[in-house]
Amino acid sequence: MKKVLTAAAILLLSFGFLSASGAEESKAEGPIELSYWGWGPHVVGVNETISPAFKEMYPDVTVKAEALGPWDLMDKFYVSMVSGKGAPDAAQLVRRVSEKYLISELLYDFTGFMNEYDGQFSEALNRDVLSVDGKYLGIPLDYGPSALFYNKPLAEKLGIDVSTIVTWDDFYELAVKISREYPDLYIMTQYYPAGTWGSNYYRMFMQSAGANIYDAEGKVIRNNQKMVEVLEFLYKLHADVKTLNIPVNDPLMWEESRKNNILFYPRNSYFSGEMEQQVPEMDGVIHTIPWPLWSEDDDPQYTGNWGGVALVVPQKGPHADIAAEFCKFFATNVEALTQHWYTTTGVPSYAPARDNIIKDNTNETFAKGLMEAITVREVGPWYYTDWAQTEKILGDGLDNMFGGKLTPAEAWQWTEDQLIKILGR
Amino acid sequence: MVFDKKKSPYLFLLPFLIMFFSFWLWPILQSLYWSMLEWDGLRAPTFVGFRNYIKLFSEQDYIIALSNTVSAAIVYIGIMVIVALFLGFMLNSSILPGRAAFRTIIFLPVTVSLPVIALVFFIIFAKNNGVLNNIISTLGFGRSIDWLGDPRINLWSIVSLRIWRASGFYAIFILAGLQSIPEEVIEASIIDGASGWKTIRLIVLPLLRPVIIYVIIASSIWAFQLFEEPWILTRGGPVNSTATIAMHVYRNGFQFFQLGYASASAYVLTAIIVVFALIQLLINKGK
Amino acid sequence: MVQNKARRKTKRVLSIVLMVIIGVIMFFPLYWMLVSSFRTNDQIYSTTLNLLPTSLMLKNYADLLLTTKFVYWFTNSVLITLSTTLLGLVLCTIAGFALARYRFRFRNAIFLLIFIMISIPRFTTIIPLFKIMSQLNFTDTYLSLILPFAVNPLALFLMKQYLESIPEDLLDSARIDGLNELQMVIRIVMPIIKPAIGAAGVNIVMMTWNDYLFPLVMMSSERKLVLTVGLASLKTLYVVEYGMIMAGSVISVLPLIIAFLIFQKQFVAGLIAGSVKG
């Protein structure tokens, strides 16, 4: 027995040590395997569609995508950048917080490519998240513009004509009325506490109102009246309308959805793909209308944007050039991006791909009318300066307001003060 | 002779120490140096001396995180030890049947990884129709409680999760302690007329002291590093009501890219834990 | 006397009731996890509290085994945990023996230093540690996880306490028999410290099996992920595959529970000698 145990121990240990040698990568010529870090359906898409398509152009190259959670990916990527080792050949980043990762000595420079494709990547300002000192250090892959989702049979049952909802004021009036008549019904879902994920959710409202926290120089806008107005509206909505308040990913939301207890979902395009996975039996129930305006004579008519994916290539990688080629290929491949839309309902940043979807809308998304609802609006300009920190401060400010500690005006003043004090902007 | 009585202690310690030095001490010393830098990890660092530490104590969020961490840790350790003692006594009580099964059941919570536990508790604590609120309303106590969203109670919801998770594990330590007390000691005191509670207080608890101290030391290390549960359940909110120092370290280090500042933050926490541990050791020695 | 008996009986009944209540509370989340692993996502989300195992659907398990690299994750976790525990026990036994049985300079200082260092939050050390591992070319190998976790101060502490309780006569007679110190530790000491090995082993196993951050950062290839990281990767930005995560968790607690059932006697006995002496 003892001998068996000893043998087992030695075996196990040597197994561990032997596996160390696996780390030596062959850098010799021949077939190249590019590593790609991603999350969600992207990963499946890369492995099953995009990599084989890329292989037709570069027969020696295989792209192997690995799935990680998005925030885990961001952490891991950061560790590898700091250590200078262990980075993948290419990766996707959460675009709205990617600013701090963009350092020109470390990431591949896509400026030439982006200039060549100038005008073909939509929503110019969001693209600027990826530019530092005039250099583009990443390629935007997709984005998630906001839309108002609703339960159509439920709306019909209640005798609501959603086409009358043009502005948020229309929405508010209708919501208050239904709240009174049907006290058991949730008019809409919203993220609360805001400090969890809500920050970005409420930011979509701000963005659609044409408001901004920072100006183009990255300075906090003082006496931001527009922002106060948005906050006042959000507070009113929170106080007078029956909302289902949930932190992110609260599974109970799906149950309420399924029981037809929720009328509206102010969300973004990704929500359709999410619903398809979580409540597939609601197929045909959920429809969309454009994100309401803040006033009827808004021009341009803005909507918000949840965020999106950025493709980056660490410059130190042995195959940086070919990995960059892959990213360019992925971000401009109409077929791949079209498929990407139907699985994730992330809108391609590459305009020709988006136009292709609009033109050939034979295969509807889970939530009906989604593409029409989002294309009649333009994504509002937004400056994502110091976004990771700002998101935290913004969430705290909103929670102070929703928690009843501060009035909307005070809450905004508080937020502004914090931003200036902590970030020195 | 290599393994004689003189050289052996050093040779025996050597492998442990080599690995301890390379994989614990060296990284720790390196981050001590980092705590005096202003550095995002990617660009060239600037040496700022103790400025990060000074900045920490002028940051409101940090003070809140500090007070949350310390109060959560103290309450957690206090209640957890009491619960573990109680469970330990139950496990040792001869009048109860099925103790072996019970011992296994109370050990179970600690086996499940924290992210999964947090997911389960997400559904238990949920405000709308969460398990806990369903039970409360079934029992007829009206209003539902916002276990994770109400800043007055959410920290304690999380502490109770931790107590639930760890007390069974540490109860087994207590049980071990109880089993090592000779039964005659307890019996003798009962014959002397000491009542049950008195026996426990005057005879059993003092004999259990070393094991209790061990439980406190072992659990305090993790108690002060509170991170996963509030991070998954509340992200530290609303408004920092469940923010902790470990979260501050993570946020600043990994999300805000302030490695120097994050290291300083971690060192303050370490100092607190060390002081806490030293006090315990002193109390223990003083006896 | 009769009254006393009746009182004792009530006490017994009350204790049993209390034990059952506590057992239910302790078991509930795990029970829920188990039941959920057999349910579809929409059954999991159901707000009508359904405690009975309404279905015995094995789809989550099938999906987990067929569509993910679960088998690899599980194997990796098992191999890493076993190797770490074995290596850790060897290291802690001989180091603990040195600290417990010899007088030499800096003995207390070394011990205190080791003990204090475990209290530093690990996020701070992960980046420097990753650097060291990558310089040694250990990243993305089992070694990057085995080596740091094999050095377990709590296990060392338990070992040291236990080894202090071994009678000196035993060692002396071994020395008289002509064994050198290493032979003595291997042939005489190791066979009689099974309980301490149980207690220290549990500490190492618990720390290794459920760790998340280190394996997340150290391992990159999908086939080399460990269970915790692999299961977490099922949680994407917007969608949580609760059913599959629950099924995976059920499988992942099984080895720990089995190990506990097998070793609990030694575990408890090891704690008696190891921790009680303090």
Average pLDDT of the segment spanning C95-109: 87
Which range, of B164-168, B272-276, C136-140, C248-252, averages the lowest pLDDT? Answer: B272-276
Asked if residue A21 is part of any domain, the answer here is no
Please tell me which of the candidates B27, B227, B250 has its beta carbon nearest to residue C132: B27
Angstrom distances, CA of residue B168 to CA of A109, A131, A145, B164: 55, 53, 48, 8
Please tell me which of the candidates A103, A251, A399 has its beta carbon nearest to residue B238: A399
Look at B88 and C50; give whichever has higher pLDDT: B88
Contact A254 C45 (CB under 8 A): yes
Average pLDDT of the segment spanning B168-182: 84
Chains with at least 3 CB pairs less than 8 angstroms from chain B: A, C
Residue A284 shares a structural domain with residue A326: no
Residue A39 shares a structural domain with residue A162: no
pLDDT of residue C188: 85
Which fold, B51-286? MetI-like fold (1.10.3720)
pLDDT of residue C202: 83
Report chain A residues whose CB lies below 8 A from the CB of B259.
Answer: 82
- Which letter does DSSP use for residue A336 in this model? H
Contact B122 A250 (CB under 8 A): yes
Task: Please report which confidence band the pLDDT of residue A314 belongs to, taking 50, 70 and 90 as the band edges.
Answer: very high
pLDDT of residue C34: 87
Which range of A375-389, B139-153, C204-218, C220-234 scores highest in mean pLDDT? It is A375-389
Angstrom distances, CA of residue B194 to CA of B197, B198, B201: 8, 6, 10
Is C146 in CB contact (< 8 Å) with chain B? Answer: no
Contact A100 B256 (CB under 8 A): yes
d(CA A258, CA A254): 6
Contact C142 A20 (CB under 8 A): yes
* Rounded percentage of chain A residues whose pLDDT exceeds 70: 91
Contact A19 C142 (CB under 8 A): yes
d(CA C82, CA A13): 9
CATH number, domain at A296?
3.40.190.10
- C-alpha atoms less than 13 angstroms from C-alpha of A395 in its C-beta half-sphere: 26
| C90 membership: H or E segment, kind and range | helix C70-101
Strand A186-191 with A262-268, pairing: parallel
pLDDT of residue B121: 85
Task: Please report which confidence band the pLDDT of residue A352 belongs to, taking 50, 70 and 90 as the band edges.
Answer: very high
| B&C contacts, CB < 8 Å | 262
Which DSSP string do the residues of C208-254 spell out, in sequence order? HHT--HHHHHH--SGGG--HHHHHHTTB-SS-B-HHHHHHHHHHHHH
Given a cut of 70, whether residue C272 has pLDDT beyond it is no
Q: How far is B50 from chain A (nearest CA, A)?
A: 18
* Phi, then psi, of A98 in degrees rounded to 5: -85, -10
> C90 Cβ partners below 8 Å, 6+ apart?
none
Is C86 in CB contact (< 8 Å) with chain A? Answer: yes
pLDDT of residue C276: 47
pLDDT of residue C203: 82
Asked if residue A289 is part of any domain, the answer here is yes
Contact A197 B254 (CB under 8 A): no
d(CA B230, CA B233): 5
Asked if residue A3 is part of any domain, the answer here is no
Please tell me which of the candidates B129, B234, B259 has its beta carbon nearest to residue A193: B234
Which range, of B205-214, C67-76, C234-243, averages the lowest pLDDT? Answer: C234-243
Report chain A residues whose CB lies below 8 A from the CB of C216.
Answer: 68, 72, 75-76
Domain span at residue A250 reads 145-305+380-423
Asked if residue A19 is part of any domain, the answer here is no
Average pLDDT of the segment spanning B78-92: 91
Selected residue of B150, B242, B257, B259 to mutate for chain A interface (largest A Cβ count, 10 A): B257
Determine the residue type at A377.
R
Selected residue of A66, A81, A186 to mutate for chain C interface (largest C Cβ count, 10 A): A66
Task: Give the distance from CA A268 to its chain's centroid.
Answer: 9
B44: nearest CA partner in chain A: A82
Task: Please report which confidence band the pLDDT of residue C191 belongs to, taking 50, 70 and 90 as the band edges.
Answer: confident
Contact C217 A75 (CB under 8 A): yes
Look at A118 and A89; give whichever has higher pLDDT: A89
d(CA A49, CA A342): 14
Please tell me which of the candidates B5, B180, B263 has its beta carbon nearest to residue C276: B180
Look at B159 and A192; give whichever has higher pLDDT: B159
Report chain A residues whose CB lies below 8 A from the CB of B45.
Answer: none
Torsion sign (Cα): C127, C131, C136, C139: positive
Map out the domains of chain C as residue ranges.
58-276
Given a cut of 90, whether residue C135 has pLDDT beyond it is no
Q: How far is A392 from chain B (nearest CA, A)?
A: 9
Is C146 in CB contact (< 8 Å) with chain A? Answer: yes
Given a cut of 50, whether residue A27 has pLDDT beyond it is no
d(CA B92, CA C269): 14
Task: Please report which confidence band the pLDDT of residue A301 belongs to, taking 50, 70 and 90 as the band edges.
Answer: very high
pLDDT of residue A249: 61
| A&B contacts, CB < 8 Å | 78
Average pLDDT of the segment spanning C157-161: 84
Map out the domains of chain B as residue ranges.
51-286
Given a cut of 90, whether residue A395 has pLDDT beyond it is yes
Contact B104 C257 (CB under 8 A): yes
Which range, of A98-107, B180-189, B221-230, averages the lowest pLDDT? Answer: B180-189
| A&C contacts, CB < 8 Å | 123
Q: How far is A39 from chain C (nearest CA, A)?
A: 6
pLDDT of residue A156: 95
pLDDT of residue C164: 84
Average pLDDT of the segment spanning C223-240: 76
Contact B15 C128 (CB under 8 A): no
Report chain A residues whose CB lies below 8 A from the CB of C235.
Answer: 69, 249
A35: nearest CA partner in chain C: C221
Contact B235 A195 (CB under 8 A): yes
Selected residue of B81, B116, B172, B245 to mutate for chain C interface (largest C Cβ count, 10 A): B116
Selected residue of A6, A19, A255 to mutate for chain C interface (largest C Cβ count, 10 A): A19
E strands present in chain C:
none
Domain count within chain A: 2
Task: Please report which confidence band the pLDDT of residue B287 belongs to, taking 50, 70 and 90 as the band edges.
Answer: low
Is B106 in CB contact (< 8 Å) with chain C? Answer: yes
Asked if residue A61 is part of any domain, the answer here is yes
What value does the mean pLDDT of chain C take?
Answer: 82
Rg for chain B, CA atoms, rounded: 23
Residue A292 shares a structural domain with residue A179: yes
Is A17 in CB contact (< 8 Å) with chain C? Answer: yes
Q: What is the per-residue pLDDT across A275-291, written as a single tens digit (0 to 9) for each?
A: 888 888 898 899 999 99
pLDDT of residue A393: 93
Given a cut of 50, whether residue A26 has pLDDT beyond it is no
Average pLDDT of the segment spanning A319-345: 91
Q: How far is A94 from chain C (nearest CA, A)?
A: 10
Task: Please report which confidence band the pLDDT of residue A163 belongs to, taking 50, 70 and 90 as the band edges.
Answer: very high
Residue A137 shares a structural domain with residue A151: no
> C32 Cβ partners below 8 Å, 6+ apart?
B120, B123, B131
pLDDT of residue C129: 87
**ipTM of the complex as predicted:** 0.86
Q: Do B9 and C102 form a contact (C-beta atoms < 8 A)?
A: yes
Look at C267 and A203; give whichever has higher pLDDT: A203
Given a cut of 90, whether residue C7 has pLDDT beyond it is no
Selected residue of A250, A384, A417 to mutate for chain B interface (largest B Cβ count, 10 A): A250
Report chain A residues whose CB lies below 8 A from the CB of B262.
Answer: none
Average pLDDT of the segment spanning A398-405: 91
* Rounded percentage of chain B residues whose pLDDT exceeds 70: 95
Given a cut of 80, whether residue B241 has pLDDT beyond it is yes
Contact C181 B15 (CB under 8 A): no
Report chain C residues whose CB lies below 8 A from the CB of A22.
Answer: 140-141
* Phi, then psi, of A34 in degrees rounded to 5: -90, 135
Residue A82 shares a structural domain with residue A49: yes
Measured CA angle at B221 (ends B217, B222), to 5 deg: 125
Average pLDDT of the segment spanning B136-158: 86
pLDDT of residue A291: 96
Asked if residue A246 is part of any domain, the answer here is yes
Asked if residue A192 is part of any domain, the answer here is yes
Task: Please report which confidence band the pLDDT of residue B223 belongs to, taking 50, 70 and 90 as the band edges.
Answer: confident
What value does the mean pLDDT of chain A take?
Answer: 87
Given a cut of 60, whether residue C1 has pLDDT beyond it is no
Q: What is the per-residue pLDDT across C175-189, written as a single tens digit (0 to 9) for each?
A: 888 888 888 888 888
Given a cut of 50, whether residue B70 has pLDDT beyond it is yes
pLDDT of residue B226: 86
CATH superfamily of C58-276: MetI-like (1.10.3720.10)
Contact A66 C42 (CB under 8 A): no
Please tell me which of the candidates A244, A255, A395 has its beta carbon nearest to residue B237: A395
pLDDT of residue A155: 95
